[in-house]
Structure 1
Amino acid sequence: MSTLDWTLNLAILALMISTVVGKRTVTLMTYLRPLVIVGGVGVYFLQDLPTAGHDVPLELAGVLLGVVFGVLAAAASRVYRQGERVVVQSGGAYAAVWLAAIGLRVAFAELATRNPGFGRWVAEFSMQHAITGADAWRAAFVLMALAMVVTRVALIALRSSSARGPSLAAAR
């Protein structure tokens, strides 16, 4: 991994934890901030999305893994009504999901580039499965991050919408 890759991964981790962990009123920024962050990363890294060989199935696997992490991140966030406002509260479990997602990506990239045995295995796997190379793996991991954020945002939006319904007092 390059210094830029390390910096971006750590910056995304810091932003996704620092802007979400805690108790926060749900606003438009609850949805826009994470989407803008990963959208910028996506634009930067996915200018030439590899589609040769079996790159697309690898990238779809990245999306699927991102959806799984997004569901876990949303499940680790509590959404509830507090008076007239809707609140989302995330803590250690949410941070742990993000740490696991980023950690797995970083560990894979570091092992693939710095561990000759693992690097050889990735190269052989890639050849056997017609994956064109490092750009396809990078795209799969970037798509994983995008899917994770979009999934969590969508699920929080859905749960926030449900919480906005009539209060118990008004329903009586």
Structure 2
Amino acid sequence: MNKTRLKFIGSAALVMTTLGVLLAILGQLDFIGNPRPENVSVKKQQPISNNNRPKYSFYDELKKRKVELDNQRNLSTVETKKQNNHYYYVVQVGALSKQADANKQKKTLESLGYSVRILQTKRKYLIQVGPLKGKQLAIETEKTLKSKKYQTLIKRLQ
């Protein structure tokens, strides 16, 4: 009984494949079974006349939004400058593993007129100049320290 079912299924598949190949040869279907593209009708878009032009254009709206964004950026930078003066900053000039080296660098920086502190972490001694009121003062201090060949990092205090 099983063999007869397999023969029937096999012969049905053979018939369907043969029909598909014949239709493909005649030009009605492609080999996958979809209608051929040249047999499918496609509507062509008509050009937009001045009367049918949309009321709004995407690019016009985009230009308006860019101007709004530029205005918001300018306002936020002014607000940021005002806010930065309320914070205190330090300029870190070193992270050394030995306390003696950290104390030596602290004395050198104090002789240059800076207020210096050493912050001890688990593994390092952080040498920091400051606290300095406002980011602008921290940036100026960083520039002078860099000119004296120090590697610097500005940190904002919490």
TM bucket (normalised to shorter chain) is under 0.3
Specify which structure has the higher proportion of strand: 2
TM-score, normalization: structure 1? 0.19
Specify which structure has the higher proportion of helix: 1
Work out which of the two has the higher radius of gyration on C-alpha atoms and give 1 or 2: 2
**Larger RCO: Structure 1 or Structure 2 (Cα < 8 Å, ≥ 6 residues apart)?**
1
